[in-house]
Structure 1
Amino acid sequence: MLKNYLKIAWRNLRKQPFFTFLNTFGLAIGMAGGLLIGLYIYDELSFDRMFTDSEHIYRVDADINFGGKASSMAVAPAPLAATLINEYSQVEKVTRLRNIGSRLLRSPENTINIKEDNSAFTDSTFFDLFDIQLLEGDAETALKRPNTLVLTKTAAEKHFGKENAVGKSLTVDNEVVYTVTGVIDNLPKNSFLRDHTVFMAMAGNDDALNTQWGSHNYATFIKLHDQVKPEVFESEIQKIVRTYVMDWAQAIFPGITHEQFLATGNYLNYVLMPLRDIHLKSSKVAEMSPNSNSQNVYILFFIGLFLIILASVNFMNLSTAHSLKRAKEVGIRKTLGSEKSGLIRQFLTESVMVAMISLFFGLILAIAVLPLFNNLASKSISIPYANPVFWLVLLFSSLLLGLLSGSYPSFFLSRFSPVKVLKGTFSSSKGGGNIRNSLVVFQFTISVFLILSTVVVFRQLSFIQNKDVGFQKSQILIIDDLGSSYQKIQPFKERVEQLPQIEQIALSSYLPTPSNRSDNTFYEEGHPEQEENVNMQEWTVSQEYISTMGMKLAAGRDFDRNMATDSSAMIINETTARLFGRSPEDAIGMRIVDPFGTTGDSQTYTVIGVVENFHFESLRQNISALSMRLSNYSDKMIVKVRAGDFERTISQIEETWASVAPGQPFNYYFMDDSFNSTYEAEQRLGQIFMIFTFLSILIACLGLFGLAAFNAEKRIKEIGVRKVMGASVGQIVYRLSSDFLKLVFIAILMSLPLGWYAMNKWLEDFQYRIEIPWWVYALAALVAVAIALITVSYQAIKAAMVNPVKSLRSE
């Protein structure tokens, strides 16, 4: 019987090529989109699961509210790791990493440095805790000694080719010679360490030995014993705050107790972040690598689900609409003895066959567009051809989709009454119309929702791009990685200033776009009480920084190279003045104390200026407190370039650098590019919304096109009669189109409130955001109506233009 079902199914599909094409193409698009999104979600959910016992590994984070600023930090104090392993038996292993960003490395044979973008100081227990095997070297001893490092395979080949790298030397930042003691395989792309290529021994980092519990710089990972409940352990380690942290704090705030600390609204909590949750659930300060967002995964999941449902709805709609053509076939089959169950199996076989054909074309389509999707999503996803589970899931999903898509049409077709069908009275019987209309409404509800969402996402991105952020983004060139050639910076700066296209130059390691960050706690002189402290960013800059960056002063003056007292001067932002209870004008002359200072002793600064607030963090966050003071050290040069031939100007700057610091790499970027990179996730989301909105509209239009064609064919004689009676083409087109447009209007009424709610929830993540104006809803509605009208009108006009003699001749 199965062979018979397949043969008949194939004949029926070949007999109606137009509807077969619409069904197959619609399902193929839905399957391809669903497959790509499924692979993306699987990749997102697989992060950091490759490490042995990853379910028992946690990062110890710090949630802090102090000095008017609340922070969630992915780093902890240096002494925390030793305290955990020595005093808590629940901890099996512990290790620390400290991100140190890019480093310049060169072997003794080379005179030219090679930049490694992501490096970290690492404890010797790192390889044991994460169970990372070394390709070369001994994991137990690799990072025991100072001035040793481990490279990834790619980094080792970059510096030493195919030679054994262990035992060879590398000079780091033109200063310290390190010995390579190990090589590990390239870290997986779905790991929190995916971009790191250099791991340097923590034993060579003096700061790792400090006992300051208020300095948070170290990503601290622990592995708990199997039976330990993390929530119980998390509550136990709060004792560290009451003992060690408070003991340390009393040196700054004599007599302070934990109760007094909490009574003023402050808190410090150590919290456990499961390793497997870091990628999707952590967006804290000082992450090892950029993380994703679980919200985006949910959004993509529903988009993929909607695509598949839309394609399935298309199949149901077209199959039930086309049922009248097969009514007599069903009637004859039943008259000849076919049972209802046999008919259901026959029609389900056809739907499964369509699903399998669609799977074939959908897979080809997914493979073809996968490189573009990877580029869009910033991924390196591949089709797991060798994984049998993948193929089983794919086949089972397609089978299930075929059965679900064909279930309603099968039951609908199989219940036709043979008496009514063969007597010609079937057309007056009920069934199918309301369901079809509901499915069309569902399709366009989803489509309008996605149109609205896409417009809102792009409007928010446009708002971010055009908002006055308080500093100049355009025509600002950042020359990076100068710190390793510190002695060359001043002569380089002086020579670049002579170039005709250069307007102004400043030096700083701190930028309002992604760069170094440094928090510290300050208090007004004479008011050391902990409730009077203000926690703020501490930036070191050159005298020209504010003017070069195009920032504005709200009160006071800028740094002045001719005033020697400016070495102990400070410029704060408006938020800092407000937290100290001062207006910008009243803040001038304030004496602010840094209890830690650059040498460990307290230092006092005089406020000489208040800069207007500018955005130095994401627009998701409010502008927090910030201070600037003078320093000669910098690893970045900020160059304001006049409009003109940027390529020629950059080439001249590069030539100048090559003459001043031969052999040193020249790295640069534009500040507006760096600003845009902060919102890459939103940009990707907007592009994904746009693409999948287009696909959803395409699928909906395919279904509407097929229904309009069928409707026009069914009413061909009615159209002929109307034309004979004098109806115009416009009147006939209106008649044929109005029924579908009513359904679209219902879909609009359903989708707009859903879109309003969903997009306002998405915008809540931004402290600075747009309000959704009325015309955005109107635009989404008009686009949907226009698309539906164009889709339906083609078939309506085609039917209305037919000669009525031809349509009535067969009567």
Structure 2
Amino acid sequence: MLRNYIKVAFRNLRRNKLYASLNIIGLSIGLGSFFIIYLFLQNELAYDQFHEKKDRIYRVVAIAESDFGVEKQASMSHAFSQKFIEGIPGIEAFSKVDRNSAVFNFHEVTENGTPTETLIVDRDFLNFFTIHFMYGNTKSVFKSPNSMLISESMALKQYGTTDVLGKTVGYYKDSYIITGLFHDLPKSSSIKADVIVLNEKMNARHEVGAWGVRMNNLQAYMLLNENTEVADVENKLTELYLEKNKYGKGSELSLQSISDVHYSLDVKDEVKEKTDRQYVSIFAFVAIFILASSIFNYISLSVSQSIERAKEIGVRKVAGASSRELRKQFIIESLLHVLISFVLSMILVELLIPQLEALVERDLGISVLAQPILLLQGIMFALFIALLCSFYPTYLSTKLKVVQVFKNGKGVFSSQRLIGAIGIFQIVVFVVLICVSVTANRQMRFMRNENLGFDKDQLLVLEHMPYQNRVEPKNELLKIPGVKSISSGGQLPNDVVPTMSFKEFDFDFSFFEIDEDYVQTMGMTLLGGRTFLPEDADSARLVLINTTAAHKIGYDEITAVGKMLGSGSSAYKIIGVVSDFHFASKKELIAPVVFRPITIGFSGQFIVKLDGANWASTTKEVLEYYNIIPDVYRPSYFFFEDRIDAQYRQENVMITMLNTFTVIAALVAFIGLFGIAGYSVKRRLKEMGIRKVLGAGFMSIQKTLNVSSVWKLLIAVAIAVPVVVYWMDNWLSSFAYRIEMPVFLIFGAIAVASIVIFITVSIHSIKAYLINPVEILKDE
């Protein structure tokens, strides 16, 4: 009997090639897209979940409030130590974690060493972070200060074997002994490294640190005892912090669960792989939309085809087929369609995962075919979808009355409520996703193209320049044709900017140390006064400020020049005002800025402004000279524009993914609308035949068939518009500088949806109009 069911299923597949193809293509695209998004989100949600004590591991975050919002920093001072937290109850273990790129000599013959991702930690680190050892254990690997732990992949890379215990590794004038070999840390870890060493050795000179000096790479983690109240520990930490740190006024310390580190975009730290929680929610909704659209498409197309098969079902019932046998037939056909779709979707997933990894610029470690459990889960899910898809057509077949079938060829298939709801849902998805995608793209275009307050183009940054004798290299570079200007030092706008405070003001100033050519080279606008000059006598007491700072201290761009900032030994004379510029992401408001003359030896970089007309040849000449400058430590360079673009890399990645899946969802919705339109036209074929016999023309029939579609569109728009306005306005509010919600966009999306609906309905209605009424009415 099963063989007969399968044979009939394949026969129906061949007989209805168009609808079967639409069913399979729509379902395979939907399943493939759903699986890709699911695997991506599974990877995102797995970050830092492998730690056995993850529910008790917290990171210390300093929070400072000002008129410009809340600033959160995970960077800590070395003064934040085991000794500092000793008196706080509830802390089971503590470790500073300094993520750095240390240069090790793994072989004595190596002259230059190998830059290696390194974690510099305290001894308690292994007591709460989960590290799986191949050789060694948590109690013995840190038996001496010069112990080193090395990853499996680094051992194989450097030595070609994992038998590395006891080997000596050089670090400048020091040496370390490999005492432990650990399996590579999971890709879904916020803390990544190939080498782990102790603070007490590598950072020995910093261990008695000053509170006012923050180390950007340094984070503090702690393990709380079970049943310890986090708020109690936070209060005690803040109390001690304010007592010990005279620079901590207005700040408080908070504990952030390690599970939240991957999503903490508002915290300044050295964690490179982060994701906005909003995008996780957005993609979850998109995945559900696509899957639901695919399932509804299948149901609507199946019901549409059931009209054609009403007489077949009637004959089967007359011949003695039971409702159970009819259910089996429909389920077998559904299983066949879904299994074909599943195979195609797996091929789609395997082809697109490498593209996704290239887009997000990290190895997700995902391969369905290489993970049997994941593949089995996919098959089980596909079987569930098959049963779900076959439920409604099966239900209708069992309710079919034989007398009605042979009387009018329909039975109960004329029920329109579910099909109408599916059509409305498809239009809602179509309109919402178009609006979301276009709004997100407009916001990102605005953020990239709006005036930054400086010129980011054609800026070549030369790193690791010698601190002394910089005049000669600068003069030689200026002789190269196409070099317009050079700043021989100063932070770049996207660097982590330190802050300074004055007792007269209840807010902090971000400060930059720059040379006399910085403003010109960066293309900033000097609104009043002048910049620094080499001949300034007391340059250490001169400052420039930005427009926001001038307004905050009670002046404008002109009247601020010549005034004093601060008092007593902390007084500075304002000699110029620079226009505001975005030195952080446009998600953040512009803060007050103070520019001070650069300290000798402070900056190790040259900022070279190139002529845009011949930048390629100029760059080549600049780099040829740069590579022969004596005392350049590890030549390295980059174009500043690339760094600016990197600020919005995550948003760009997510927008690209959103655009892709929006197109897919629109395609799936189009397939569904096509099937629904076909169903609606087929159930009215006899009506159209009668109208045509009575003299109805082409436009009259088109109007009649399109009325219901217009009503569906109006209902869908009434649902979609509030969703779009609420959802996108909520997302845009996370940006300090944002576009207004484009009202015309909603009308544009409605217009596009109207055109799509008109095209899908017209395809079927024109086909119906061209059918000879005799063919439609001959059974009557």
Q: Structure 1-normalised TM-score?
A: 0.86
Alignment pair present for 1:275 and 2:258: yes
Matched ranges for 1:413-432 at <5 A: 413-424=397-408, 426=410, 431-432=414-415
Q: Return closer, same or farther for 1:301/1:573 CA change in 2, 3 Å cut-off.
A: same
Contact residue 145 and residue 203 of structure 1 kept, 8 A: no
Alignment pair present for 1:517 and 2:497: yes
* Aligned mate of 2:386, from 380, 402, 406: 402
State the match for 2:175 in structure 1. Answer: 179
Deviation readout 1:212-232 (Å, 9 max, x if unpaired) = 27857531111223x233xx1
Contact residue 124 and residue 142 of structure 1 kept, 8 A: no
The alpha carbon displacement at 1:82 in A equals 1.4
Secondary structure of 2:64's aligned partner: strand
Matched ranges for 1:65-464 at <5 A: 65=65, 70-83=70-83, 86-99=86-99, 109=109, 121-132=120-131, 176-182=172-178, 185-194=183-192, 201=199, 203-205=201-203, 206-212=205-211, 215=214, 218-225=218-225, 227-229=226-228, 232-243=229-240, 245-249=242-246, 266=250, 268-281=251-264, 283-381=266-364, 382-385=366-369, 387-424=371-408, 426=410, 431-464=414-447
* Aligned mate of 2:720, from 726, 751, 766: 751
State the match for 2:731 in structure 1. Answer: 762
The alpha carbon displacement at 1:357 in A equals 2.2
* Aligned mate of 1:610, from 550, 554, 577: 577
Letter in 2 for 1:518: P
- Provide the C-alpha distance between the structure 2 equivalents of 1:126 and 1:741, rounded to a whole number of angstroms: 64
**Gap regions ≥5 residues in structure 1:** 254-260, 596-601
* Aligned mate of 1:477, from 460, 468, 484: 460
State the match for 1:599 in structure 2. Answer: none
* Aligned mate of 1:468, from 444, 448, 451: 451
Contact residue 733 and residue 793 of structure 1 kept, 8 A: yes
State the match for 1:543 in structure 2. Answer: 516
Letter in 2 for 1:192: S
State the match for 1:491 in structure 2. Answer: 472
- Provide the C-alpha distance between the structure 2 equivalents of 1:619 and 1:159, rounded to a whole number of angstroms: 43
Q: Return closer, same or farther for 1:215/1:245 CA change in 2, 3 Å cut-off.
A: farther
- Provide the C-alpha distance between the structure 2 equivalents of 1:770 and 1:727, rounded to a whole number of angstroms: 50
Letter in 1 for 2:472: P
The alpha carbon displacement at 1:199 in A equals 5.8
Deviation readout 1:408-465 (Å, 9 max, x if unpaired) = 22212221111211233746x6743222121011011011100010110011011112
Secondary structure of 1:234's aligned partner: helix
Moved more, 162-171 or 624-633: 162-171
State the match for 1:787 in structure 2. Answer: 756
Letter in 2 for 1:224: L
Matched ranges for 1:715-726 at <5 A: none
Q: Return closer, same or farther for 1:16/1:168 CA change in 2, 3 Å cut-off.
A: same
- Provide the C-alpha distance between the structure 2 equivalents of 1:747 and 1:614, rounded to a whole number of angstroms: 44
Q: Return closer, same or farther for 1:808/1:420 CA change in 2, 3 Å cut-off.
A: closer
Q: Return closer, same or farther for 1:462/1:202 CA change in 2, 3 Å cut-off.
A: farther
The alpha carbon displacement at 1:340 in A equals 3.5
Secondary structure of 1:291's aligned partner: coil
RMSD of aligned residue pairs (Cα, Å): 3.5
* Aligned mate of 1:563, from 536, 539, 550: 536
Secondary structure of 1:608's aligned partner: strand
- Provide the C-alpha distance between the structure 1 equivalents of 2:201 and 2:570, rounded to a whole number of angstroms: 30
Secondary structure of 2:531's aligned partner: coil
Q: Return closer, same or farther for 1:161/1:648 CA change in 2, 3 Å cut-off.
A: farther
Deviation readout 1:722-744 (Å, 9 max, x if unpaired) = 66666655555555445434423
Secondary structure of 2:59's aligned partner: strand
Contact residue 147 and residue 201 of structure 1 kept, 8 A: no
The alpha carbon displacement at 1:106 in A equals 9.8
Q: Return closer, same or farther for 1:16/1:32 CA change in 2, 3 Å cut-off.
A: same
Contact residue 473 and residue 672 of structure 1 kept, 8 A: yes
Deviation readout 1:242-297 (Å, 9 max, x if unpaired) = 34522543xx89xxxxxxx7xxxx4x332221112211245302243341121111
* Aligned mate of 1:622, from 575, 586, 589: 589
The alpha carbon displacement at 1:195 in A equals 6.8
The alpha carbon displacement at 1:721 in A equals 6.2
Secondary structure of 1:360's aligned partner: helix
Deviation readout 1:586-641 (Å, 9 max, x if unpaired) = 4434444599xxxxxx7543322222211111111111122221123213221111
Secondary structure of 1:660's aligned partner: coil
Deviation readout 1:474-504 (Å, 9 max, x if unpaired) = 2222223x15x43465433222111111101
- Provide the C-alpha distance between the structure 1 equivalents of 2:452 and 2:754, rounded to a whole number of angstroms: 38
Contact residue 30 and residue 307 of structure 1 kept, 8 A: yes
State the match for 2:46 in structure 1. Answer: 46
Moved more, 282-291 or 33-42: 282-291
Q: Return closer, same or farther for 1:735/1:331 CA change in 2, 3 Å cut-off.
A: same
Contact residue 79 and residue 213 of structure 1 kept, 8 A: no
State the match for 1:704 in structure 2. Answer: 673
Matched ranges for 1:769-784 at <5 A: 769-784=738-753
Letter in 2 for 1:406: S
* Aligned mate of 2:664, from 695, 699, 718: 695
Contact residue 561 and residue 574 of structure 2 kept, 8 A: yes
- Provide the C-alpha distance between the structure 1 equivalents of 2:108 and 2:497, rounded to a whole number of angstroms: 33
Letter in 2 for 1:411: Y
**Gap regions ≥5 residues in structure 2:** none
- Provide the C-alpha distance between the structure 1 equivalents of 2:7 and 2:630, rounded to a whole number of angstroms: 77
- Provide the C-alpha distance between the structure 2 equivalents of 1:572 and 1:166, rounded to a whole number of angstroms: 56
Contact residue 238 and residue 252 of structure 2 kept, 8 A: yes
Q: Size of the alignment, in residue pairs?
A: 772
The alpha carbon displacement at 1:141 in A equals 8.4
Identity of aligned residues (%): 26
The alpha carbon displacement at 1:559 in A equals 0.9
Letter in 1 for 2:477: V
Contact residue 103 and residue 119 of structure 1 kept, 8 A: no
The alpha carbon displacement at 1:784 in A equals 1.6
The alpha carbon displacement at 1:238 in A equals 1.8
State the match for 2:488 in structure 1. Answer: 507
- Provide the C-alpha distance between the structure 2 equivalents of 1:634 and 1:394, rounded to a whole number of angstroms: 54
- Provide the C-alpha distance between the structure 1 equivalents of 2:704 and 2:634, rounded to a whole number of angstroms: 71
Moved more, 80-89 or 716-725: 716-725
Contact residue 144 and residue 203 of structure 1 kept, 8 A: no
The alpha carbon displacement at 1:521 in A equals 2.5
- Provide the C-alpha distance between the structure 1 equivalents of 2:478 and 2:165, rounded to a whole number of angstroms: 42
Alignment pair present for 1:16 and 2:19: no
